[in-house]
Amino acid sequence: MYPGTSRLLFNGEGRICDHRDHFAVVGPTFGPVPLPGSFVRWLCKRCVG
């Protein structure tokens, strides 16, 4: 399972007129793996702040 969120925009009729999903794939996928995981965690901390 990947953490994330969805953005839904509704029109005047209450119907969805735009949809976008945002989720993180790299961290949860490579984070648990020892060698690339340490690099990915370091990189994510540098990029996210």
- pLDDT, position 13: 96
Report the run of H or E that residue 42 belongs to, with start and end: helix 34-48
Strand partners, 19: 8
Query: Domain locations in the chain?
Result: 4-48
Is 0.75 topped by the overall pTM?
no
Residue 16 DSSP SS3: strand
- Residue the block writes with tokens 């209450």: 14
How many angstroms separate the CA atoms of 20 and 6, rounded? 6
pLDDT tens for each residue of 28-39: 666 677 777 777
pLDDT tens for each residue of 1-49: 666 778 899 999 999 999 988 776 666 666 677 777 777 777 777 876 5
- Which DSSP state fits 44? H
How many angstroms separate the CA atoms of 37 and 12, rounded? 46
